[in-house]
Amino acid sequence: MKAAIITIGNSKGIRIPKPLLEESGLVDDVEIRLLKDGLKITPIKIKKVKVSETLIMSQKALAKEWDTPEEDEAWAFLQ
pLDDT by position in tens, the chain (length 79): 788 999 999 999 999 988 888 888 888 889 999 999 999 999 888 777 677 766 666 766 777 777 778 777 777 777 6
Distance CA 63, CA 69 (A): 13
Rounded (5°) CA angle 46-49-53: 170
pLDDT recorded at residue 50: 72
Query: Which residue intervals of the chain are DSSP H helices?
Result: 18-24, 53-66, 69-75
Backbone angles phi, psi at 29, to 5 degrees: -90, 140
Distance CA 4, CA 27 (A): 21
Domain boundaries, the chain: 6-43
pLDDT recorded at residue 36: 95
